[in-house]
Structure 1
C-alpha cells in the first residue's frame, strides 16, 4: 500500500435492483477516484443514483459488479464481518435523519461506535467528551437526545461520526432538515474539519450552495456521472491522486 493511493476508487461499479421487467440499473459502470483530503459533492436529482453510490463507497452495500478499493486495496471480496470492522474504523457518517437513540444521553449516542468496537467505558467517555467539546456540545453530554434542537442533534451526529478519528466523512443531505442559518453553521463545522484535520469529505446533496463549497462536484444522471465540476475554492492539493 502506498501513500499515493486514493483513499477511495471504483472500477466499473454497477448496481442493479430487481430482475426482468422490474430491473432497475441504479449505477451503470462508474470508474473514478477520491484523493486523500479532498472534498467531493455527489449531486443529482432524486433517482440519479447518488445515494446508491454513497452507500457503495461507504461499504454500506455491495455492488452487483465492479470494484471498490480503499487505500488501493479492493474490499469487494472481503467477508461481511471484515467490511463492518473496516467501515467502523475508517469512516464517519452523517445523515439527514439523525438516527439518534432518544432514550440515551448525548454522550451515549456519540460513543456508540466505540462501544461497538469494544473500547472500555472510561475511554469511550473520555474521547466522547473530547469530541463534544470540539463541537461546543459538552454542556449537553447528559441530556437526552430528544431534548435537543435540530442543529444540536446534527452536531451530536457529527461528534458521533468523528469519534473514531475517521479518514473519510460521508454526509448524506446533512443540512436537509435544518433551517438556513443552522445549515450554514453545520456546513462551517464540516468544512472546518476538512480544512483543519485533512478529513476526506464526501457529501451527497441537493443543496447547490453546499455543493459549491466542495473542491469537486460529480454530477449524476440516470446512474452515470455525466460531468465533473471544480469549485472556485478548488486547489491543486487533494484534487490529484
Structure 2
C-alpha cells in the first residue's frame, strides 16, 4: 500500500452552539494514499464539502487531527499551513473563482505569485500548463470572455501550475453540459493516470464518482460506506443503499 498523503483521526466539525448547534462531521478516521483517486459522495448536507475543506487545510476542525504525509497540521503555525496548502494542493471548483477582468495567464499563475515567483518564471510555467491543456491561444484573453468549458480548463491549469501532489475537485462538472463534462473528467483522470497526482473528487454525481478507484459515501456527517474499484456507466446503480454493503443500522455506521 502506498504512503498516506492525507490522514484523519476522529475528525469533528461543529457549527454553532446550543439549539443552533450543527454537527457537520462526527468523528471520521480514514486515509488517502499517494496516487489514489477518491470520491467523497453524498447528498447536500451530508458533510462532504466540509470534509474537503478540512482535508485541504482551508478550515480547521473542532476536534481531531488532519495529517499531511504523517505530520499533524494542527501543530503548525498558520503561515506554514498556508505555504503547505499552496505548494501541495491544487483546486478545481464548480464556480471557477476566476478574476473575470484579468487575463487567463494571470489567473493561472496566481498561486505562483502568492508563492513569490518572479513574473518571467510565472509566465513561463503558466504557458507550459496552458499548452498542456490546449488553451495556450487564450492566454491573453480575459477570463470573462471564455466559455464554461474553457473556464474549467483554466481552473485545471491553475491547479496544476504549482505541480501539486493532490488535486481537490469540488463538483468540477456541476456547471457544464454533458459533453463538456466528459472532456473535463477525461483531463482530470488523465492527469491522475499519467502524472500520479492524487485526485480527491467531491460530488453527488454517481457516474463521476464511479470513475474513481475508491468512493467514501457520506450521510449525516459520517462515512456510512466505502466502495473500491472503477464502475463503468453500465454497471452503475444510482439507487445506492448503505445496507447493500452491510451497514443496515446506525450502530454499524458509527
Report the TM-score range of the alignment, normalised by the length of the smaller protein: over 0.9
- CA distance in structure 2 between the partners assigned to 1:80 and 1:119 by the alignment: 21
The total of aligned residue pairs comes to 232
Who is 2:76 aligned against? 78
Who is 2:251 aligned against? none
Who is 2:61 aligned against? 63
Who is 2:252 aligned against? none
Who is 1:115 aligned against? 113
Q: TM-score, normalised by structure 1?
A: 0.94
Who is 1:171 aligned against? 169
Long gaps (5+) in structure 1:
235-241
Who is 1:155 aligned against? 153
- Tell me by how many angstroms 1:215 deviates: 0.2
Who is 2:87 aligned against? 89
- Tell me by how many angstroms 1:75 deviates: 0.6
Match of 1:13 among 11, 14, 17: 11
Who is 2:215 aligned against? 217
- Tell me by how many angstroms 1:4 deviates: 5.2
- Report runs of 4+ in structure 1 exceeding 6 Å deviation: none
* Partner-residue secondary structure (3-state), 1:82: helix
2:19 aligned with 1:42, yes or no? no
- Give CA-to-partner distance per residue, 1:174-212, whole Å, 9 cap, x none: 000000000000000000000000000000011111000
Give the alignment's Cα RMSD to 1 decimal.
1.2
- CA distance in structure 2 between the partners assigned to 1:126 and 1:108 by the alignment: 12
Structure showing greater Rg: 2
Match of 1:138 among 119, 136, 139: 136
- Tell me by how many angstroms 1:21 deviates: 0.5
- Give CA-to-partner distance per residue, 1:112-159, whole Å, 9 cap, x none: 000000100000000000000000000000000011000000000000
- Tell me by how many angstroms 1:85 deviates: 0.5
Who is 2:248 aligned against? none
* Partner-residue secondary structure (3-state), 2:4: coil
- CA distance in structure 2 between the partners assigned to 1:131 and 1:51 by the alignment: 27
- CA distance in structure 2 between the partners assigned to 1:78 and 1:47 by the alignment: 30
Question: CA contact under 8 A between 2:36 and 2:199: conserved in structure 1?
Answer: yes
Taking CA–CA contacts closer than 8 Å with sequence separation of 6 or more, which of the two structures ends up with the larger relative contact order? 1
- Tell me by how many angstroms 1:233 deviates: 6.1
